[in-house]
């Protein structure tokens, strides 16, 4: 049974291939077409997945698409009567999806008649729930999907048992925690798709000084606005509600526009002028960040956590399950996720590396495999390395073509020498194995530096990353040492949880410790990434610190995919060392 999952015509377009229940390949289109958050049809990601599996499109049995135009039809129709433009947008989307088989045939350069696979449309949030639960290491778990909007809903919760998901409830448009976060991010002058992540970093600098105002912006489901109230359990029909006077999306429609011939998603303005009356004037993009902006960001985050953790507590009360799986864009809020263990009864949490919309390709495929076809579970996603990998010969060719001098080393020497460069304060590009699935570099397309040196954050920004100075960098820690450096030892293999760094260790790893004393950590296991584990182990041998600072291998672009892109990035930036496959490149004195 070969199932191809495709997330198309949506931000984070992606593809995934599942053969007899095992994931063979998964990748985002942005890594191939080099357009960040690429939308459109993921032609190259589809071709890559088929190539990796060694199958042709004619051999695929099922195609799974995470969108169901028939879902919540009555709600959509009611809304379309009020806003004809919305009806027009929906019909355009319908036409696009109706042509998906032809698009696939074009991508694979075959006659459409050769594609005989059955097409399954999986509702957006069901695909999110499936992407969270069916590949998790739990036989049963509570499952939550929360995002901006998909198939006219923003939130859905379920109980997962074996190969079944039992949906317990949903929140429909226009109420949405994702759109709430995006709207306030826009108000703070962060307009780009994906900028919510920056605002989460900014929040650590402020105090939640506007909670009264924010209880008007996101209200409790019972209509109360009292600060500090948790949500009622069990989850009601409306666990939360936006104060719609502060938003325009319910009036004007969720205005997703597309740039670069439809390849880049851009969201229109979501907040109303009433928000400025409540909180003061909106910040222009690029204007000075004042204390007030930091406090608004802190309150945005604090109110999200109240509602999100309240939802999770209610979900626990309703299901009684000890494990939790999360998906949807809101599940990337690693700060809120880090509080789950302290503020809810859940004991274990699983968030797959592509928890956002890219993950829908995997979710739709597994929804068909388990929920539709009833086949048993066999697979756990315990690592993120589902993208392209390259042979030593291909890497050597890229290095030769660039005229670089290099040495080929056995693994032990490669890790030892690279670790020694890191300990000397150098910036090391680390390109190994198959590319990561999801937005985080997790030790295969990473840049690694010394976490002990507080200046490394500025050095990285000045020489390569050019990020806003308030944004934190992340630590990778040897799995076994997690509890020595962080206040929790629960695994965080995909950098989706932030934990407080132990107060006595903050001075030991200042570079990846955020201003609030937390770190968005990756716990590194010897089993799932032995070479990266060994690099950190060698660094520990030299320095007694089992942690490195890990940031993505890129410079204002999607993370590098091929050896050529890595070499280009190395040459273009002021990276000192490149460890690529078995080869070590050291930049000589210029
Ligand atoms: Fe989504």
Write out 571-589 in H/E/C secondary structure: HHCCCCEEEECCEEEECCC
> Residue 62: beta bridge partners?
3, 118
For residue 510, how far is its CA from the centre of ligand 1 (angstroms)?
Answer: 35
For residue 475, how far is its CA from the centre of ligand 1 (angstroms)?
Answer: 27
* Residue-level pLDDT at 352: 96
Q: Between the CA atoms of 380, 383, 385 and 391, what dihedral angle is there, to the nearest 10 degrees?
A: -100
* Residue-level pLDDT at 222: 59
As a three-state string, the secondary structure of 307-370 is: HHHHHHHHHHHHHCCCEEEEECHHHHCHHHHHCHHHHCCCCEEECCCCCCHHHHHHHHHHHHHH
Question: Which residues are in the CB-under-5-Å shell of ion ligand 1?
Answer: 147, 150, 357
For residue 354, how far is its CA from the centre of ligand 1 (angstroms)?
Answer: 11
Place of tokens 């273009």: 572
For residue 128, how far is its CA from the centre of ligand 1 (angstroms)?
Answer: 7
As a three-state string, the secondary structure of 406-455 is: CEECCHHHHHHHHHHHHHCCCCEEEECCCCCCCCCCCCCEEEEECCCCCC
A 10 A CB-CB count for 397 gives 14
For residue 571, how far is its CA from the centre of ligand 1 (angstroms)?
Answer: 37
For residue 364, how far is its CA from the centre of ligand 1 (angstroms)?
Answer: 12
For residue 229, how far is its CA from the centre of ligand 1 (angstroms)?
Answer: 28
For residue 52, how far is its CA from the centre of ligand 1 (angstroms)?
Answer: 26
For residue 527, how far is its CA from the centre of ligand 1 (angstroms)?
Answer: 31
Give every CB contact of residue 391 below 8 A, 6+ residues apart in sequence: none
Give every CB contact of residue 342 below 8 A, 6+ residues apart in sequence: none
* Residue-level pLDDT at 69: 82
Q: How far is CA 198 from the centre of its chain?
A: 13
For residue 298, how far is its CA from the centre of ligand 1 (angstroms)?
Answer: 24
For residue 204, how far is its CA from the centre of ligand 1 (angstroms)?
Answer: 26
For residue 327, how far is its CA from the centre of ligand 1 (angstroms)?
Answer: 8
Q: Which sign, positive or negative, has the C-alpha torsion 384, 386, 392, 394?
A: negative
For residue 533, how far is its CA from the centre of ligand 1 (angstroms)?
Answer: 32
For residue 147, how far is its CA from the centre of ligand 1 (angstroms)?
Answer: 5
For residue 182, how far is its CA from the centre of ligand 1 (angstroms)?
Answer: 13
For residue 125, how far is its CA from the centre of ligand 1 (angstroms)?
Answer: 7
For residue 155, how far is its CA from the centre of ligand 1 (angstroms)?
Answer: 9
* Residue-level pLDDT at 103: 92
For residue 72, how far is its CA from the centre of ligand 1 (angstroms)?
Answer: 16
* Residue-level pLDDT at 265: 73
> Which pair of tokens denotes residue 496?
């989706």
For residue 22, how far is its CA from the centre of ligand 1 (angstroms)?
Answer: 23
For residue 133, how far is its CA from the centre of ligand 1 (angstroms)?
Answer: 15
> Residue 164: beta bridge partners?
161
* Residue-level pLDDT at 225: 45
Q: Which H or E element spans position 195?
A: none
* Residue-level pLDDT at 260: 61
For residue 362, how far is its CA from the centre of ligand 1 (angstroms)?
Answer: 13
For residue 178, how far is its CA from the centre of ligand 1 (angstroms)?
Answer: 9
Q: How far apart are CA 275 and CA 357, in angstroms?
A: 28
For residue 6, how far is its CA from the centre of ligand 1 (angstroms)?
Answer: 14
* Residue-level pLDDT at 403: 96
For residue 15, how far is its CA from the centre of ligand 1 (angstroms)?
Answer: 15
For residue 578, how far is its CA from the centre of ligand 1 (angstroms)?
Answer: 36
- Whether the bond into 529 is cis, omega within 30 of 0: no
For residue 12, how far is its CA from the centre of ligand 1 (angstroms)?
Answer: 10
For residue 271, how far is its CA from the centre of ligand 1 (angstroms)?
Answer: 20
For residue 373, how far is its CA from the centre of ligand 1 (angstroms)?
Answer: 23
The residue among 266, 285, 270, 296 whose CA lies nearest residue 192 is: 266
For residue 127, how far is its CA from the centre of ligand 1 (angstroms)?
Answer: 9
For residue 256, how far is its CA from the centre of ligand 1 (angstroms)?
Answer: 13
For residue 234, how far is its CA from the centre of ligand 1 (angstroms)?
Answer: 24
For residue 203, how far is its CA from the centre of ligand 1 (angstroms)?
Answer: 23
**What DSSP line would sit under 204-240, residue for residue?**
TTS--TTHHHHHHHEEETTS---TTPPPPSS--S-SE
For residue 329, how far is its CA from the centre of ligand 1 (angstroms)?
Answer: 6
For residues 388 and 434, is the Cβ–Cβ distance under 8 A? yes
For residue 149, how far is its CA from the centre of ligand 1 (angstroms)?
Answer: 6
Q: How far apart are CA 450 and CA 500, in angstroms?
A: 19
Residues of the chain with pLDDT under 70: 222-237, 254-263, 589-590
The residue among 551, 557, 394, 406 whose CA lies nearest residue 471 is: 551
For residue 575, how far is its CA from the centre of ligand 1 (angstroms)?
Answer: 35
For residue 339, how far is its CA from the centre of ligand 1 (angstroms)?
Answer: 22
* Residue-level pLDDT at 82: 76
* Residue-level pLDDT at 259: 63
Give every CB contact of residue 431 below 8 A, 6+ residues apart in sequence: 444, 445, 553, 560, 563, 566, 578, 579, 580, 581
Q: What is the pTM of this model?
A: 0.94
- Whether the bond into 569 is cis, omega within 30 of 0: no
For residue 126, how far is its CA from the centre of ligand 1 (angstroms)?
Answer: 10
For residues 314 and 155, is the Cβ–Cβ distance under 8 A? no
For residue 331, how far is its CA from the centre of ligand 1 (angstroms)?
Answer: 10
* Residue-level pLDDT at 54: 97
For residue 144, how far is its CA from the centre of ligand 1 (angstroms)?
Answer: 12
């Amino acid at each position: 049974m070969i199932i191809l999952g495709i997330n198309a015509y949506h931000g984070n377009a992606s593809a995934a291939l599942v053969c007899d229940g095992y994931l063979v390949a998964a990748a985002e289109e942005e890594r191939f077409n080099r357009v960040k958050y690429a939308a459109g049809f993921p032609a190259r990601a589809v071709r890559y997945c088929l190539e990796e599996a060694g199958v042709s499109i004619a051999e695929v049995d099922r195609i799974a698409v995470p969108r169901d135009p028939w879902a919540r039809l009555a709600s959509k129709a009611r809304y379309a009567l009020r806003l004809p433009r919305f009806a027009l947008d929906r019909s355009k989307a319908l036409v696009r999806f109706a042509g998906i088989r032809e698009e696939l045939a074009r991508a694979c350069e075959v006659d459409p008649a050769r594609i005989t696979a059955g097409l399954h449309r999986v509702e957006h949030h069901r695909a999110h729930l499936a992407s969270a639960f069916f590949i998790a290491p739990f036989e049963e778990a509570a499952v939550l999907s929360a995002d901006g909007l998909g198939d006219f809903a923003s939130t859905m919760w379920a109980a997962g048992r074996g190969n079944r998901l039992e949906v317990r409830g949903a929140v429909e448009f226009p109420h949405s925690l994702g759109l709430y976060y995006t709207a306030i991010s826009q108000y703070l002058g962060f307009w780009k798709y994906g900028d919510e992540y920056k605002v989460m970093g900014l929040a650590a600098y402020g105090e939640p000084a506007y909670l009264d105002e924010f209880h008007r912006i996101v209200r409790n489901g019972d209509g109360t606005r009292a600060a500090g109230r948790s949500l009622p359990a069990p989850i009601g029909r409306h666990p939360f509600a936006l104060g719609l006077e502060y938003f325009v999306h319910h009036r004007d429609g969720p205005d997703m526009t597309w740039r670069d011939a439809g390849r880049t998603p851009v969201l229109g303005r979501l907040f109303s002028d009433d928000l400025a009356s409540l909180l003061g004037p909106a910040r222009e993009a690029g204007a000075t960040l004042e204390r007030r902006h930091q406090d608004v960001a802190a309150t945005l985050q604090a109110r999200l956590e109240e509602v999100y953790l309240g939802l999770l507590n209610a979900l626990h009360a309703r299901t009684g399950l000890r494990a939790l799986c999360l998906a949807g864009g809101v599940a990337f809020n690693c700060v809120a996720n880090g509080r789950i263990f302290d503020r809810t009864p859940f004991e274990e949490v699983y968030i797959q590396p592509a928890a956002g919309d890219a993950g829908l390709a995997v979710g739709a495929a597994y929804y068909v495999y388990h929920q539709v076809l009833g086949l048993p579970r066999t697979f756990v996603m315990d690592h993120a390395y589902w993208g392209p990998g390259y042979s030593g010969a291909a890497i050597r060719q890229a290095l030769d073509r660039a005229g670089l001098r290099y040495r080929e080393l056995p693994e032990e020497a490669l890790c030892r020498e690279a670790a020694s460069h890191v300990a000397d304060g150098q910036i090391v590009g680390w390109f190994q194995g198959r590319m990561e699935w999801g937005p985080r570099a997790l030790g295969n397309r990473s840049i690694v530096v010394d976490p002990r040196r507080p200046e490394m954050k500025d050095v990285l920004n000045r020489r390569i990353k050019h990020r806003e100075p308030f944004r934190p960098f992340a630590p990778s820690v040897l799995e076994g040492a997690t509890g020595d450096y962080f206040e929790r030892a629960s695994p965080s293999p995909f950098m989706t949880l932030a934990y407080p760094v132990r107060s006595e260790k903050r001075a030991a790893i200042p570079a990846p410790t955020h201003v609030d004393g937390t770190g968005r950590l990756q716990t590194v296991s010897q089993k799932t990434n032995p070479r990266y584990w060994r690099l950190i182990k060698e660094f520990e041998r030299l320095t007694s610190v089992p942690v490195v600072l890990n940031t993505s291998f890129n410079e204002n672009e999607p993370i590098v995919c091929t050896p050529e892109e890595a070499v280009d990035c190395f040459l273009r930036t002021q990276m000192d060392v490149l460890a690529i496959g078995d080869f070590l490149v050291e930049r000589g004195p210029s």
